Amino acid sequence: MKLHLRVRTLIRNKRVHERDRSKCVYEIVTDLFYAGASFNEIATILERNVYFVAKYGTSDAALAREISRITNKLESRK
Protein backbone atom coordinates (compact mmCIF):
# COMPACT_ATOMS: atom_id res chain seq x y z
CA MET A 1 0.00 0.00 0.00
CA LYS A 2 1.52 3.29 -1.10
CA LEU A 3 0.86 6.17 1.28
CA HIS A 4 1.93 9.79 1.13
CA LEU A 5 4.99 10.57 3.27
CA ARG A 6 3.02 13.03 5.42
CA VAL A 7 0.36 10.42 6.16
CA ARG A 8 2.97 7.81 7.03
CA THR A 9 4.47 10.32 9.45
CA LEU A 10 1.06 11.12 10.97
CA ILE A 11 0.40 7.41 11.45
CA ARG A 12 3.78 6.80 13.09
CA ASN A 13 3.77 9.82 15.40
CA LYS A 14 3.76 8.90 19.08
CA ARG A 15 2.82 12.40 20.24
CA VAL A 16 0.54 15.06 18.79
CA HIS A 17 2.62 17.55 16.80
CA GLU A 18 -0.15 19.18 14.77
CA ARG A 19 -2.76 21.54 16.21
CA ASP A 20 -5.57 20.54 13.84
CA ARG A 21 -6.23 16.95 14.89
CA SER A 22 -9.38 16.72 12.75
CA LYS A 23 -7.37 17.56 9.64
CA CYS A 24 -4.82 14.89 10.52
CA VAL A 25 -7.55 12.26 10.98
CA TYR A 26 -9.13 13.30 7.68
CA GLU A 27 -5.80 13.06 5.83
CA ILE A 28 -5.07 9.61 7.25
CA VAL A 29 -8.50 8.20 6.38
CA THR A 30 -8.46 9.80 2.91
CA ASP A 31 -5.03 8.47 1.97
CA LEU A 32 -5.82 4.99 3.28
CA PHE A 33 -9.16 5.02 1.43
CA TYR A 34 -7.53 5.99 -1.88
CA ALA A 35 -4.83 3.36 -1.31
CA GLY A 36 -7.58 0.73 -1.21
CA ALA A 37 -7.69 0.01 2.53
CA SER A 38 -10.87 -1.58 3.85
CA PHE A 39 -12.99 -0.09 6.63
CA ASN A 40 -11.46 -2.56 9.11
CA GLU A 41 -7.92 -1.77 8.01
CA ILE A 42 -8.56 1.95 8.41
CA ALA A 43 -10.14 1.36 11.82
CA THR A 44 -7.18 -0.73 12.99
CA ILE A 45 -4.76 2.07 12.17
CA LEU A 46 -6.94 4.91 13.38
CA GLU A 47 -8.02 3.44 16.72
CA ARG A 48 -4.44 3.68 18.00
CA ASN A 49 -3.49 6.89 16.25
CA VAL A 50 -2.48 9.76 18.56
CA TYR A 51 -4.50 12.33 16.60
CA PHE A 52 -7.68 10.29 16.70
CA VAL A 53 -7.31 9.35 20.37
CA ALA A 54 -6.49 12.96 21.34
CA LYS A 55 -9.63 14.16 19.56
CA TYR A 56 -12.16 11.37 20.23
CA GLY A 57 -10.69 9.12 22.90
CA THR A 58 -11.09 5.35 22.55
CA SER A 59 -14.75 5.39 21.54
CA ASP A 60 -15.63 2.65 19.04
CA ALA A 61 -18.74 4.63 18.09
CA ALA A 62 -16.68 7.74 17.30
CA LEU A 63 -14.25 5.59 15.31
CA ALA A 64 -16.98 4.09 13.14
CA ARG A 65 -18.75 7.43 12.78
CA GLU A 66 -15.63 9.31 11.65
CA ILE A 67 -14.51 6.67 9.17
CA SER A 68 -18.00 6.40 7.71
CA ARG A 69 -18.45 10.17 7.51
CA ILE A 70 -15.16 10.67 5.68
CA THR A 71 -15.41 7.66 3.35
CA ASN A 72 -19.02 8.50 2.45
CA LYS A 73 -17.89 11.99 1.49
CA LEU A 74 -15.07 10.57 -0.63
CA GLU A 75 -17.33 8.01 -2.33
CA SER A 76 -19.82 10.71 -3.27
CA ARG A 77 -17.04 12.57 -5.14
CA LYS A 78 -16.32 9.63 -7.45
**Which tens digits make up the pLDDT trace of 64-76?**
999 999 999 999 9
For the whole model, what pTM was predicted? Answer: 0.94
pLDDT in tens, 13-42: 999 999 999 999 999 999 999 999 999 999
The residue length of the chain stands at 78
Q: Where are the chain's structural domains? A: 18-77
